[in-house]
């Protein structure tokens, strides 16, 4: 196997490994998970009978490898188990909330990409600093206060629509744009100094032609990698930003599940994030190889 | 800025924050003492940075947040660096199947975005500052292990390491004496570069209520508690936010300078 098929096979192996890791984390938790669920759901001091009944109901009495195997097989078919709180299928609950998060992520990625188009190096460096050092929850809180509450633009309770996605996307985009701008700037400086670019310039190629034909193809693979990395971490960013803007997405669902120790929901949501991360990174690598075949062999 | 200036500026910012954490409690009021009659007071001589929604002194709480915010991030970074160094050097020096197994484990951990993995760990361990630190360290060691492995593998062929082996020094001893110290410098530099992200990550997870339990002061938590009154008392958001920015900038200046200093 070579080239793309090899990279895709690699991604599949990584994905399975990461799924095993995500599932196995629950073994770190001290104490009886059934007892924790009961306590998290308001049963102050559960009786042994209650605990035993819940253990049986959740299938916790089987050995861990059997439970892991079952979870993996089910997850492969899109079945992520049932929430320990609501009893509803995790996959269905995620599917309800995913479109809003995808809209938010798409707008954030688009904004971050637009922010890459700037001439002034000083402004770019200012953006890098702002996005890299100011926490998204501070940007989000101040934006909500100034734009929504003071200026009355948009609404306090977000509805998850495209139009409403712009404001919550700003803090996410700022953080992503900062990383991308740093990567792209370094790559462009490096490619500009290469000999073939100097030759092209010496032969009288226009600025735009030099940029589009000679510099960007060489400089874009690191950017693709950076974009791929961003997509995966968007889930963590979304948890913060969606909570601030009460965006009806996956983020608040994950946070609620963490607080209530709803392990199947946490695992399912995190697995979704891992899937996005692995797919995005694989696509980024394939794109980088397509643009600059010399580097990814 | 020259490399020296960056190094000293970054170090000075972090040291100043640490000094403030030690000095402010000696001079100012108790960070947890409430005074509801005087809530959301604007900055004044008696409360230089104002008071919060429970009338607590914001300057005292900001200083009390240094160990729970910046300090916790330093602990996460130090633990990640130590584990990463150990795993990376072991993989490089042992080679063979040990290297294969360790490298696959690192690959798998790296397949989960750092903050997402931290969220997953807190999801099973439960919220709390200690659990949060454990979660961030569990997610943070892998990139450093990969770096340490590459770095150490490069050192193994250096003449002084080869010479030590030829002179009859056992491989593990040679690794401990010659590879670990040289790799540690590089790992420390890269880890310091990542300190800012750890500060941001910890503050973000604390903002979500997954970190310290109230009334303990922590910068992310301070912002979370004041979102509803951000309009009346913007300093409640700006002060902890500025401290986070300062920490991240300090760590990044220091890390940049160290990374360029490292071989």
Where on the phi/psi map is residue A180: left (φ > 0), alpha (ψ -120 to 50), or beta? alpha
Would you state the structure tokens that stand for residue A216, as one six-digit string?
Answer: 């960007």
CA–CA gap between residue B256 and residue B260 (Å, rounded): 6
Residues in chain B: 263
pLDDT digit string, tens, across residues A135-162: 999 999 888 888 877 777 766 666 777 8
Q: Give residue A296's pLDDT.
A: 41
Distance from the B95 Cα atom to the nearest Cα atom in chain A, whole angstroms: 21
Q: Would you call B117 an interface residue with chain A, using a CB distance cutoff of 8 Å?
A: yes
Q: Where are the beta strands (DSSP E) in chain B?
A: none
Largest interatomic CA distance in chain A: 84
Q: Give residue A157's pLDDT.
A: 65
Which of A210, A270, A238, A213 is CA-nearest to residue A18? A270
Q: Cβ separation of B124 and A20 shorter than 8 Å? A: no
pLDDT digit string, tens, across residues B125-184: 888 999 999 999 999 999 999 999 999 988 888 888 888 888 888 878 888 888 888 899
A258 contacts A240 by C-beta, under 8 angstroms? no
Contacts of A252 in chain B (CB under 8 A): none
Where on the phi/psi map is residue B28: left (φ > 0), alpha (ψ -120 to 50), or beta? beta
- Model confidence at B262, pLDDT cuts 50, 70, 90, reads low
Q: Cβ separation of B249 and A129 shorter than 8 Å? A: yes
Classified as helix, coil or strand, B39 is coil
CA–CA gap between residue A147 and residue A187 (Å, rounded): 36
Which of A104, A38, A10, A48 is CA-nearest to residue A262? A38
B112 → closest Cβ in A22, A26, A149? A22
Q: Would you call B260 an interface residue with chain A, using a CB distance cutoff of 8 Å?
A: no
Judge whether residue B57 has pLDDT over 90. no
How many Cβ atoms from other residues are within 10 Å of residue A277's Cβ?
26
Q: Would you call B233 an interface residue with chain A, using a CB distance cutoff of 8 Å?
A: no
Q: Give residue A297's pLDDT.
A: 37
What are the sequence ranges of the domains in chain A? 92-296
Residue of chain B nearest A282, judged by CA positions = B111
Best to test chain B binding among A24, A80, A84, A135 (most B CBs inside 10 Å) = A135
Q: Give residue B130's pLDDT.
A: 92
Which of B91, B195, B74, B82 is CA-nearest to residue B146? B91
Query: Which residues, 6 or more positions from B236, have their beta carbon under 8 angstroms from its beta carbon?
Result: B40, B50, B52, B53, B58, B222, B223, B225, B226, B229, B230
Judge whether residue B5 has pLDDT over 50. yes
With tokens 């392990």, the residue in question is A263
Residues lower than pLDDT 50 in chain A: 1, 296-297
Give CA separation, A261 vs A25, B75, B122, B125, in Å.
13, 25, 9, 8
Residues in chain A: 297
Residue of chain A nearest B110, judged by CA positions = A18
Contacts of A179 in chain B (CB under 8 A): none
Of the segments A83-92, B79-88, B102-111, which one has the largest average pLDDT value?
B79-88
A136 contacts A108 by C-beta, under 8 angstroms? no
Across chain B, mean pLDDT equals 89
Query: Which residues, 6 or more positions from B119, have their beta carbon under 8 angstroms from its beta carbon?
Result: A236, A239, A254, A258, A266, A270, B135, B205, B210
This complex has an ipTM of 0.88
Distance from the B70 Cα atom to the nearest Cα atom in chain A, whole angstroms: 14
A207: preceding bond cis by omega (within 30 degrees): no
Which of B247, B246, B223, B220 is CA-nearest to residue B234? B223
Best to test chain B binding among A19, A138, A238, A265 (most B CBs inside 10 Å) = A138
CA–CA gap between residue B95 and residue B156 (Å, rounded): 11
Q: Would you call B127 an interface residue with chain A, using a CB distance cutoff of 8 Å?
A: yes
CA–CA gap between residue B65 and residue B72 (Å, rounded): 10
Multiple choice CATH, A92-296, 3.30.70.1880, 3.40.50.1820, 3.30.2020.10, 1.10.3720.10: 1.10.3720.10
Would you state the structure tokens that stand for residue B135, as one six-digit string?
Answer: 């979660």
Which of A256, A252, A251, A253 is CA-nearest to residue A233? A251
Q: Give residue B218's pLDDT.
A: 93
């Amino acid at each position: 196997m070579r080239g793309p098929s090899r990279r895709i096979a690699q991604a599949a192996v990584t994905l399975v490994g990461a799924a095993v890791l995500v599932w196995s984390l629950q073994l770190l938790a001290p104490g009886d998970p059934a007892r924790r669920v009961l306590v998290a759901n308001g049963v102050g001091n559960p009786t042994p009978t209650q605990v035993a009944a819940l253990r049986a109901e959740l299938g916790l009495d089987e050995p861990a490898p059997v439970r892991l195997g079952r979870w993996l097989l089910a997850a492969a078919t899109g079945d992520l188990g049932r929430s320990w709180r609501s009893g509803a299928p995790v996959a269905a609950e995620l599917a309800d909330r995913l479109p809003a998060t995808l809209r938010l992520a798409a707008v954030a990625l688009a904004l971050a990409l637009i922010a890459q188009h700037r001439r002034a190096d000083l402004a770019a460096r200012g953006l890098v600093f702002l996005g890299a050092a100011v926490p998204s929850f501070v940007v989000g809180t101040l934006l909500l206060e100034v734009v929504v509450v003071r200026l009355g633009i948009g609404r306090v309770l977000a509805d998850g629509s495209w139009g409403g996605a712009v404001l919550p996307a700003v803090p996410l985009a700022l953080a992503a744009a900062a990383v991308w701008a740093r990567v792209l700037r370094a790559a462009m400086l490096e490619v500009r100094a290469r000999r073939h670019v100097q030759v092209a310039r010496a032969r009288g190629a226009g600025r735009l032609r030099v940029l589009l034909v000679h510099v960007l193809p060489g400089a874009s693979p690191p950017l693709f990698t950076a974009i791929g990395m961003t997509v995966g971490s968007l889930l963590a960013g979304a948890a913060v930003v969606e909570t601030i803007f009460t965006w009806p997405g996956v983020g608040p669902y994950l946070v609620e599940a963490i607080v209530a120790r709803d392990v199947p929901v946490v695992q399912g949501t995190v697995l979704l994030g891992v899937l996005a991360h692995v797919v995005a990174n694989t696509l980024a690598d394939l794109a980088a190889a397509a643009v600059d075949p010399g580097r990814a062999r | 800025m020259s490399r020296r200036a960056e190094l000293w500026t970054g170090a000075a910012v972090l040291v100043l924050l640490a000094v403030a954490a030690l000095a402010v409690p000696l001079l100012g009021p108790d960070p947890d003492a409430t005074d509801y009659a005087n809530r959301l007071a604007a900055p004044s001589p008696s409360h230089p940075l104002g008071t919060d929604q429970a009338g607590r002194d914001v300057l005292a709480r900001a200083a009390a947040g240094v160990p729970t915010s910046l300090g916790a991030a330093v602990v996460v970074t130090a633990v990640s660096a130590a584990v990463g160094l150990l795993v990376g050097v072991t993989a490089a020096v042992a080679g063979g199947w040990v290297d294969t197994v360790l490298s696959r484990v690192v690959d798998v951990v790296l397949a989960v975005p750092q903050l997402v993995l931290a969220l997953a760990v807190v999801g099973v361990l439960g919220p709390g500052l200690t659990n949060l630190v454990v979660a961030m360290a569990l997610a943070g060691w892998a990139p450093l292990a990969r770096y340490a492995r590459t770095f150490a593998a490069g050192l193994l062929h250096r003449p002084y390491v080869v010479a030590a082996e030829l002179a009859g020094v056992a491989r593990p001893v040679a690794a401990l004496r010659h590879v670990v110290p040289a790799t540690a410098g590089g790992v420390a530099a890269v880890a310091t570069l990542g300190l800012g992200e750890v500060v941001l990550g910890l503050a973000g997870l604390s903002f979500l209520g997954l970190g310290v339990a109230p009334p303990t002061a922590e910068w992310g938590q301070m912002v979370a508690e004041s979102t509803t009154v951000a309009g009346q008392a913007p300093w409640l958001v700006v002060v902890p936010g500025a401290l986070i920015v300062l920490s991240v900038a300090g760590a990044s200046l220091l890390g940049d300078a160290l990374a360029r200093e490292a071989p």
